[in-house]
Structure 1
């Protein structure tokens, strides 16, 4: 399955009408996307948010009444969720196959289930999960037969999660003395800007371009979705992802990556009927808040430009700090190999040769981490770090993790050792072990960051803290902050200060890629056969 702009055309045409673009061509030059800016409206009782037009402007509030469209106008509207009691209790069930730190890992796992003939969908109730597709496994009997068949194959990780629902939230508002309660509401303004104020999120009057829609999601509450052109969307991403003070070539590189990332990842929230979120699980997006002249110039200078590999959008990932060497895609996630996402020593000088001094060797790795000069990031906050953690704290964190994943060793008493058993050539942890009095827990890749709070990346080594012969805890020594794949934002600052162009910065972190205008020939994303999985 492949996705191109041509396949997006039906949405683009609808988007043009929805946000008031003059022509479909104008909409295609600023591809419309759907961003969940309040993902869980109604996840608690008495949830409220106020939507406002700018001074002198009006909101148009559109919804259906008995199947017929209705429009109200107001300067502002306060939405609240009211709990509506059901005529009789309803049992809601879902089959959960797995839980993941990232969408990438969840998507890879979902593909494995599909290869076995099982229909699945990716959800994000909190962390990412893979569910049995609800409209396929839609009765209690079918769900239990599925679980039984998996258990017969020795698969014990799948589980059924159930809850009894007696009441449900409904979005409601009062205008002109009348109360309206609807599940889907469209809100637009004459100026194309709407202020969103949600008290519990501490978001006072944050402005958003485009239009808004309140709609149901997969978790029994509602999402406020922003329908917005991607170029306008970038005005709320670039300043918050890299800052407004970066050198101009760095801002331009970030704009290209943010645009490419958005168009590449439109499949993330299919289950909820929108495309992207506004948090670090996608890209930080804050509407028009913080838009600045410097970032606007970078967006305009690169308008419509995306990064490609063999005429397909790249996975345009980036993180704060690499720790001196970027991570390959498969150092962090499972999936098919991305040749343009490989370990790159983050330095403008030939500081370390990964071919002759592979960081998969523990001695080489420790020497690399203890080298602190000559890198693009040296001297910055998270380039190198060292954390001492008590045994009691680590025991507590491990116990909470094992309980959450229903691990059979949950009743262990104490950790006896933590060790790295395999690294990638770029030094990232591929496999690790936690040895306890009750047995050994095997971990892969960034699982260890899920277990323990201390590691800021998977680029670290660990030593025991001993008091004479008594184990007191462990020391985590490493570098970098975040997954480390793709562009290092901190590293790019140095390249920009050295006079590198945005094209050169992108080529450094994404070798073998091409920069080109978005067009109908480019594949946005396509699914690979499972055989290509690394």
Structure 2
């Protein structure tokens, strides 16, 4: 039986479907649901058992401790050090996304430098801490890089008088736990971080040190239970069934291909938009649960390897090739596709690298999968002073040598790809040009919702440049599946298989087994 027919039958009988769990489905993921706990000394975590009690196990002073409680609170206290301690890392590159950071890491490795990818906020490539383990060695490496003309690497150094100590509060009692493990009755624990929304997680929770001198709360959860906390948040539960099923396959594929993201912190995935939004099972719903069950163990592959299953809210009418957004080897299945069910534009005859052709494309409103959605077409404007503030903050975060510029003079789109995405935008400042490439453009400025835009200058009463209007389409990077586009295709009667073949040409849906390569490197 073909996979398309299998999916159709599964969706038709999903309400009565019972699937025996596979070994892959039961594979435990390690998801950092709270990152960098302790970065602020006011951080607080509340742990509650929705039903029954919590089991807490940890060591304190070398002795094992086990507690049964209904509620526990994790707070912070400063632990003085016997003597000041240098906390330091050599940052070789600072990036908006993991994909580009990983490509940067490979380039540094090709130069003979041992590296690791970390995420202390933005993604960074560090000189490997275990290899470059002393201040002298790190400074010698930085000097060598400077002598060779590399001006972007920089050192972050901090002399610490104390380190954060986690305090476990249970009623009036206080403990100083090491490697805390939390389980709840029915494998459910409700977590509230810093008085924000609470989410309920299945599986176990583990508090562990991270690479930044703080802590991570890690949920060990089966793949299929993880998806129950992803799919309802990544696609509207009221979406058509075929669109939800397509999203479930993509989310499963994405998770299993990206388990290497947080190796520096000893977990695999995060719970934010830097990976996939994951918020436990509090709002797991019947329709999304049925889509997950109906596609159980199915993934998207290319040449027997999991695809880089990137997706976004809205493409703006054309999907982005991988290399239009990130550095690294092209993904053959992430290419420019006109996001419409019919013929509305001939990209071969009318590539969007030409500025006037691109503007004509953006003037089109009808016939696309996303026509009528709020982010399909947009206009946003900003003054030069506001744009200068955006750019200054971005350059400062990334350690750019021109971060201290005083005045932004102009913005100029230098290069655009055949899919219309900006490949380079130059920001002319009083210190010279800061060249922004690909997705950096969206990270550097507030107005653009994607890199699919053009600029209209704004002038003041004297005719002097005062700012820009950003005129564009789409929301997000635009590569792979368009979530809003998939709604339209599903309403037209397209199957999950056909939707995924449209957004990821040349791929194949297949069961995840030992013959599938999770990640072969690029």
**What TM-score range do you get, normalising by the shorter chain?**
over 0.9
Distance in 2, Cα, partners of 1:80 & 1:508: 49
Can you list the C-alpha shifts for 1:391-413, whole angstroms capped at 9, x where unaligned?
Answer: 22223323333444454444545
Q: Match for residue 483 of structure 2? A: 489
Q: In structure 2, do the counterparts of structure 1 residues 339 and 178 end up closer, same or farther at CA, with 3 Å as the change threshold?
A: same
Q: Secondary structure of the equivalent of 2:178?
A: coil
- From 335, 343, 346, give the equivalent of 2:328: 335
Q: Are 1:348 and 2:341 an aligned pair? A: yes
C-alpha displacement of 1:47: 2.7
The aligned counterpart of 2:100 is 105
Distance 1:181 1:103 in 2: 34
Q: Which residue of 1 aligns with 2:43?
A: 47
CA–CA separation in structure 2 for the residues paired with 1:321 and 1:46: 37
CA–CA separation in structure 2 for the residues paired with 1:241 and 1:54: 25
Q: Which moved more, 1:271-280 or 1:148-157?
A: 148-157
- Equivalent residues in 2 for 1:326-475 (5 A)? 326-410=319-403, 412-467=405-460, 469-475=463-469
- Which position in structure 1 is the counterpart of 2:514? 520
Q: Distance between the aligned counterparts of 2:174 and 2:445, measured in 1?
A: 49
CA contact (8 A) 1:414 1:436 kept: yes
Quote the Cα distance in structure 2 between the aligned partners of 1:194 and 1:170. Answer: 23
Cα distance in 1 between the residues matched to 2:117 and 2:395:
23
Question: What is the rounded CA distance, in whole Å, between the counterparts of 2:215 and 2:48 in structure 1?
Answer: 19
Partners of 1:300 and 1:465 in 2: CA distance: 53
SS in 1 for 2:519: strand
Change (3 A) 1:53 1:26: farther
How many residues were matched structurally? Answer: 502
CA distance in structure 2 between the partners assigned to 1:186 and 1:395 by the alignment: 46
Unpaired runs of 5+ residues, structure 1, are: 1-24, 529-534
- Aligned-partner Cα distance in 2 for 1:395–1:189: 50
Aligned pair partner of 2:118 in 123, 126, 151: 123
Displacement of 1:65 after TM fit?
4.7
**1:36 partnered with 2:29:** no
Contact 1:340 1:512 in 2 (8 A): yes
**How has the CA–CA distance of structure 1 residues 174 and 392 changed in structure 2, closer, same or farther, with 3 Å as cutoff?**
closer
With over 3 angstroms needed to count, the CA separation of the structure-2 counterparts of 1:255 and 1:26, relative to structure 1, is closer
| Shift in alpha-carbon separation, 1:400–1:177, aligned structure 2, 3 A | closer
Residue number in structure 1 paired with 2:14: none
Deviation string, structure 1 residues 420-476 (Cα, Å, up to 9, x no partner): 121111111111212334432222112222221111100011121234532121111
1:183 pairs with 163, 178, 183, which one? 178
Of residues 269, 286, 291, the one that matches 1:293 is 286
CA–CA distance in structure 2, aligned partners of residues 434 and 263 of structure 1: 38
C-alpha contact 2:22 2:297 (8 A) present in aligned 1: no
Taking structure 1 as the reference length, the TM-score comes to: 0.91
Give deviations 1:101-138, integer Å, cap 9, x for gaps: 10001000001111111111111111111111111111
Give the match's secondary structure for 2:291: helix
Distance in 2 (alpha carbons) for counterparts of 1:177 and 1:469: 68
**Are 1:170 and 1:183, in contact at CA under 8 Å, matched by a contact in 2?**
no
C-alpha distance in structure 1 between counterparts of 2:172 and 2:394, whole Å:
51
Superposed counterparts of 1:164-313, under 5 Å? 164-175=159-170, 178-200=173-195, 202-204=196-198, 206-313=199-306
Kept in 1: contact 2:58–2:179 (CA 8 A): yes
Query: 3-state SS of the aligned residue for 2:393?
Result: helix
Structure 2 runs not aligned, ≥5 long: 1-20
Q: Using the alignment, how far apart are the partners of 1:193 and 1:335 within structure 2?
A: 40
Aligned counterpart, 1:82: 77
Give the Å deviation of 1:69.
4.1
Alignment of 1:480 onto 2:479: no
Per the TM alignment, residue 26 of structure 1 is displaced from its structure 2 partner at its CA by 5.4
Measure, in 1, the Cα distance between the counterparts of 2:59 and 2:397: 42
Cα RMSD for the two superposed structures: 1.8
Distance of aligned partners of 1:111 and 1:291 in 2 relative to their CA distance in 1, 3 Å threshold: same
Q: TM-score, normalised by structure 2?
A: 0.93
SS of the residue corresponding to residue 220 of structure 2 reads strand
Deviates more, 1:439-448 or 1:118-127: 439-448
Tell me if the contact between 1:36 and 1:276 (Cα under 8 Å) persists in the aligned partners. Answer: yes
